[in-house]
Chains A and B, each alone.
Chain A
């Protein structure tokens, strides 16, 4: 069932290589966001506009981090993901992003909006701690309104408890 994560907020960089922490991301990777295409070579492929959503997704470890049930702490794996996002944001200083907070369907509607706010803000705060100007980060919570995986099982729920970084332009 739910795996409790440690809330260690030790220096992120030392944690980067640590993959041994309880892996909460789903075994099966979430579907790529719209418009990502199949090009995955780090923004060097043809047709990828630097600073675009496509460039972002191709360049970072993941556009999203995942949370345990009813939790919003950013663990080591999330920190590594956000670290890669902060590096890309440093290379594209004019870009603004939206952080979408989401919850799985096992909570009531209003509470899940509040929970999505917690998750998106946890991700935003971590990016800010890495030097990203918080004024570049917009936050919105979708609660349980926009699931990425449609099943009603642990695997789908794990994919839906997420904070997704979306490029909204410069």
Chain B
């Protein structure tokens, strides 16, 4: 039941020669390196690029695994348009408002038609059954003014993976037009919440970056918190209150089995993977004193990294795997520190006033996201690995626990509302502080963890 469909997403076609042209370098966000600064949320650029995304064509309407290729052409276009819209950079014209295209148009677009609809770019594609139960999805991007091809990719997929083909196509378009690395074809582990505030049911759950392919993992009988996907998406490390103890487990997504990260009589929590997936950081409380440890993902002897009477907790590896950022209250309040992975060279990096927690190193390595507590509110912000350029990105009662998109451009977090009916939900915001959005989840949500782009 818990076994996922094996993904075989082979690149069918090579990139067109047009791809050899280098995309323009992205404009860096306007950042003033001052102490915590608020941003105006929710404003989108007025000059978003208009992209037409008509339904993908099909050479012959075929039903494969209960899916019709013509219906899939429309659904794939819907997912591509939704991805592009969610990025905040584009204003897609969705398939519902556009005429269908023929197979012939896929490689010979009627550019004048799309220009007449003010579309600067147009996405074409096709869905073809190969007779062996697989589908081929073609994905093309054109510049309507120049009449030139910008992207040409194809994917052979099992029918159940059609959403991944759509995300891969959207990623190719996004990368070509923005110059940024892709991020749509990625997954999120989080905690689904339900029930009253005093007795919340918290279940481990996973979904695609757009909320698709949602699946509950645990049944809610034991509290589950703070999940993290392994870099290969095969495992999830998380904390379970199973048998009224607080312990870190490694859950195997394919088999549905789980094991303790370490055998200990003590409370273990706040786990994180190393970027290569070979090691796990966790925190352990011994006699009330919490410190940070590192252990092989296969078990063995843990290495103690901190040794202070204060609370040392959490932690996140730098993308090169050489440093760790963590939080500690050794100075009297929660603050952020960095250290080498052997625990040496511990240095405080947060000084801006207030308490700082839940640091997460960007996959690009240039920034650390955090939760800042002050004035009775939690806000999500970023700073450089040496503590400079602190910026706050959100403004609400409680925004907590940032996690990075695979390309380091978007930050997800959870937002909690106050009071007896207070609930949590998943949100995301651009690194520039704009394009704030709530993520669709079937129940309330917390503790999001965004994994890498899938191969």
B-binding residues in A (CB < 8 A): 70, 72, 98, 105-111, 113-115, 117-118, 120-122, 125, 139-141, 145-148, 150-152
Which of A98, A105, A109, A121 contacts B244, CB < 8 Å?
A98
Question: Do A108 and B357 have beta carbons less than 8 Å apart?
Answer: yes
* B383 contacts across to A, CB distance below 8 A: none
Besides A110-B283, A141-B267, A147-B197, 4 other CB < 8 A contacts? A106-B376, A110-B314, A118-B289, A141-B285
Most chain B CB inside 10 Å of its own CB: which residue of A106, A107, A114: A114
- Interface contact B313-A121, CB-CB below 8 Å: no
Contact of A114 with B244 at beta-carbon distance under 8 Å, contacts A147-B197, A147-B198, A150-B420 already known? no
Chain B 417-451 interface 0/1 with A at a Cβ cutoff of 8 Å (1 = within): 01110100000000000000000000000010000
Q: Do A109 and B400 touch (CB < 8 A)?
A: yes
Q: Is the CB of A109 within 8 A of B401?
A: yes
Q: Give every chain B residue within 8 A of A113 (Cβ-Cβ).
A: 246, 267, 269-270, 285, 313
B71 interface hit (Cβ, 8 Å): no
Of all chain B residues, which has the CB nearest A134?
B287
Known pairs A110-B269, A111-B334, A146-B199; A152 contacts B246 (CB<8 A) = no
Contact of B246 among A98, A111, A140 (CB under 8 A): A140
Query: A residues within 8 A CB of B202?
Result: 145
**CB contact between A110 and one of B313, B373, B418 (< 8 Å): that residue:** B313
| Cβ contact within 8 Å between B267 and A140 | yes
Known contacts A145-B200, A150-B420, A111 near B357 by CB under 8 Å: yes
B245 partner residues in chain A, CB cutoff 8 A: 140
Q: Across chains A and B, which 4 residue pairs bring their CB atoms closest together, nearest first?
A: A121-B288, A152-B418, A117-B285, A114-B290
Give the one of B202, B226, B287, B373 with max A CB within 10 A.
Answer: B287
Task: Say yes or no for B358: interface residue by CB 8 A criterion.
Answer: yes
CB<8 Å pairs between A and B, sample of 21: A72-B288, A106-B373, A107-B334, A108-B357, A108-B400, A109-B447, A110-B226, A110-B314, A111-B313, A111-B329, A111-B357, A113-B270, A113-B285, A113-B313, A115-B311, A145-B225, A146-B198, A147-B197, A147-B198, A150-B422, A151-B419
Tell whether, in the assembled complex, residue A108 and residue B422 are in contact, meaning their CB atoms are under 8 Å apart: no
Q: Does B72 contact A (CB under 8 A)?
A: no
Residue B237 interfacial (CB < 8 Å): no
* A113 CA / B246 CA spacing, docked (Å): 9
One of A107, A118, A140, A151 near B288 (C-beta < 8 A): A118
Contact assessment for B327 and A111 in the assembled complex, using a CB-CB cutoff below 8 Å: yes
CB of B269 to closest CB in A, whole Å: 5
Closest to B422 in A: A152
Which residues of B from 195 to 244 have beta carbons under 8 Å from A? Answer: 196-200, 202, 223, 225-226, 244
Query: How far apart are the CA atoms of A17 and B103 in the complex, in Å?
Result: 89
| Docked complex Cα distance between A72 and B244 (Å) | 22
| Least CB separation from A31: chain B residue | B198
> Contact string, B335-375, partner A, CB cutoff 8 A, digits 1/0?
00000000000000000000001100000000000010100
Q: Which of B226, B285, B371 contacts A114 (CB 8 A)?
A: B285
Chain B 273-317 interface 0/1 with A at a Cβ cutoff of 8 Å (1 = within): 000000000010101111000000000000000000001011000
Q: Which B residues, 26 to 52, have Cβ-Cβ distances below 8 Å to chain A? A: none
Bound Cα distance from A117 to B313, whole angstroms? 12
Residues A110 and B358 in contact in the complex (CB < 8 Å), given A115-B311, A140-B245, A145-B225: yes
| Interface residue? B378 (CB, 8 A) | yes
Q: How far is the CB of A5 from chain B (nearest CB, A)?
A: 16
CB neighbours (8 Å) of B397 from chain A are 152
Assess A148 versus B198: contact at CB under 8 Å? Given A98-B244, A109-B400, A117-B267: yes
- Cβ contact within 8 Å between B288 and A120: yes
Please state if A114 and B311 are interface contacts (CB–CB under 8 Å): yes
Q: Given B226, B311, B398, which contacts A118 in the complex, CB threshold below 8 Å? A: B311
Determine if B418 and A114 form an interchain contact, defined as CB atoms under 8 angstroms apart: no
Most buried by B among A98, A110, A151: A110
Give min CB distance, A44 to chain B, whole Å: 31
Hey, which chain B residues are within 8 Å of A152, CB to CB?
397, 418-419, 422
Contact residues in A for B376 (Cβ distance below 8 Å): 106
C-alpha gap A129/B120 in the complex (Å): 76
Chain B residues near A140 (CB-CB < 8 A): 244-246, 267
Give the Cβ gap from B84 to chain A, nearest Cβ, in Å.
33
In the complex, the answer to whether A110 meets B270 with C-beta atoms within 8 Å is: yes
Output the residue of A108, A146, A150 with the most chain B CB within 10 A.
Answer: A108
Kindly state the separation between the CA atoms of A83 and B382 in the bound complex, as whole angstroms.
47
Residues of A within 8 A of B358 (CB): 108-110
Q: Report the Cα distance A98→B267, complex, angstroms.
A: 14
